[in-house]
């Protein structure tokens, strides 16, 4: 029996309660969590912006130690440190055949499985986004774990599972930022901070951070921002003023709101690239007219999981960590317990802080 954060139903508050986990079956791994990041996607599951079967144990950004493995699992063993991969590719679908593993059609099929029972009444529980990281221990499919690279502390490694892969991938895979280019990053949360660091690693000449909170400026500058803009109706104009009236080469939107996406687009130079990382609801409608699409010649693209292949990108990220170019601890603004997750959700809604990290 282990403690976990359970979402009973969409729109309901989280319950911190005991659950019963089975032993790992064939092709499964049991992991004792060291840490789990509180991501905006978890909040999106609670309010129905993203939907998975409920009741569910949330949490998808985590790392821990293998406790036991089921039959047929050979790439990890008890005692190994692992990063949880919430969107593992199947290797068989059309997207995987094209090498676009981040768009795998079967990545979230495991979220519909029953993986545990609620201790109080024996009711079925689903693993929110495959891995159920908001728990002291979890049982996942073997393809949902990757060995922690050498030189990365286990607690920090949790951030590699979502925030860092997403932010780094948005810059290096989706936007393909080149040395000397200018970049604007909208939203200075966990993913935004990782995006700022990735833009610095890419050699961007000017990195503009945008957020509604003036209190986040110091966080943003530590991550690599050269300039900071407090979001307003004049944001796009301010960014153009900072870039010789041209606009940035690349704008990365990490919020998922129509007004922010539209502003990111307007702050991008003619012929530049606007990348949308934030997950918005269906009610967030963004409009463009036909003439501006022709005139500005900008590229607007979505970005799923940083357009990353975790098996390929984790070793690259680890090398940046070992070389001191990527500071994982700088993404974390508070260390919390399972009981503090609802407060962390409230802080996200209020636009406070970077990444809250649950440490077990």
Q: In this predicted model, what pLDDT tens digit does every residue of 322-344 receive, in sequence order?
A: 999 999 999 999 999 999 999 99
Q: Quick one: three-class SS letters along 103-119? A: HCCCCCHHHHCCCEEEC
User: Which is it for the CA torsion 21, 23, 28, 33, positive or negative?
Assistant: positive
The DSSP annotation for 153-217 comes to -HHHHGGGGTHHHHHHHIIIIIS---TT-EEEEE--SHHHHHHHHHHHHTT-SEEEEEES-GGGH
Instruction: Please report, in tens digits, the pLDDT of each residue of the chain (360 residues total).
Output: 999 999 999 989 999 999 999 999 999 999 999 999 999 889 888 888 888 899 999 999 999 999 999 999 999 999 999 999 999 999 999 999 999 999 999 999 999 999 999 999 999 999 999 999 999 999 999 999 999 998 899 999 999 999 999 999 999 999 999 999 999 999 999 999 999 999 999 999 999 999 999 999 999 999 999 999 999 999 999 999 999 999 999 999 999 999 999 999 999 999 999 999 999 989 999 999 999 999 999 999 999 999 999 999 999 999 999 999 999 999 999 999 999 999 999 998 888 888 999 999
Which residue in the block uniquely carries the two structure tokens 């047929």?
72
Domains and CATH numbers, the chain: 2-161+327-359 (3.90.180.10), 164-304 (3.40.50.720)
Judge contact between 327 and 224, C-beta under 8 A.
no
pTM given for the model: 0.95
Phi, psi of 53, deg, nearest 5: -60, 140
SS3 222: helix
Which residue in the block uniquely carries the two structure tokens 């290096």?
172
User: Which is it for the CA torsion 141, 17, 332, 301, positive or negative?
Assistant: positive
């Amino acid at each position: 029996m282990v403690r976990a954060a359970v979402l009973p139903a969409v729109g309901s508050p989280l319950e911190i309660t005991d659950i019963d986990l089975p032993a790992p079956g064939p092709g499964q791994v049991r992991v004792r969590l060291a840490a789990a990041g509180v991501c905006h996607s978890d909040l999106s599951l609670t309010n129905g912006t993203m939907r998975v079967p409920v009741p569910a144990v949330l949490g998808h950004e985590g790392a821990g130690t293998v406790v036991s493995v089921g039959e047929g699992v050979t790439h990890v063993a008890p005692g190994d440190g692992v990063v949880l991969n919430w969107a593992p590719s199947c290797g068989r679908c059309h997207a995987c055949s094209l090498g676009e593993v981040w768009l795998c059609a079967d990545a979230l099929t495991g979220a519909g499985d029953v993986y545990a029972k609620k201790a109080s009444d024996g009711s079925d529980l689903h693993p929110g986004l495959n891995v159920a990281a908001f728990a002291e221990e979890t049982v996942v499919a073997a393809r949902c774990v990757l060995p922690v690279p050498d030189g990365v502390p286990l607690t920090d490694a949790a951030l590699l599972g979502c925030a860092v892969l997403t932010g780094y991938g948005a810059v290096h895979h989706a936007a393909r930022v080149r040395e000397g280019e200018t970049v604007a990053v909208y939203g200075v949360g966990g993913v935004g901070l990782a995006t700022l660091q990735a833009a610095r690693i890419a050699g961007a000449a000017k990195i503009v951070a945008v957020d509604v909170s003036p209190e986040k400026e110091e966080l943003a500058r530590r991550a690599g921002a050269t300039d900071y803009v407090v979001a307003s109706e004049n944001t796009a104009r301010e960014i153009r003023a900072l870039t010789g009236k041209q606009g940035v080469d690349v704008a990365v939107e990490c919020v998922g709101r129509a007004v922010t996406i539209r502003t990111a687009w307007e702050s991008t130079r003619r012929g530049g690239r606007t990348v949308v990382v934030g997950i918005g609801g269906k009610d967030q409608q963004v409009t463009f007219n036909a003439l501006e699409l022709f005139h500005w010649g900008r590229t607007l693209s979505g970005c799923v999981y940083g357009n990353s292949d975790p098996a390929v990108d984790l070793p690259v990220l680890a090398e940046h960590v070992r070389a001191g170019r990527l500071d994982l601890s700088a993404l974390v603004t508070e260390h919390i317990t399972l009981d503090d997750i609802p407060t962390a959700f409230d802080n996200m809604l209020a636009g406070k802080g970077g990444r809250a990290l649950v440490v077990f």
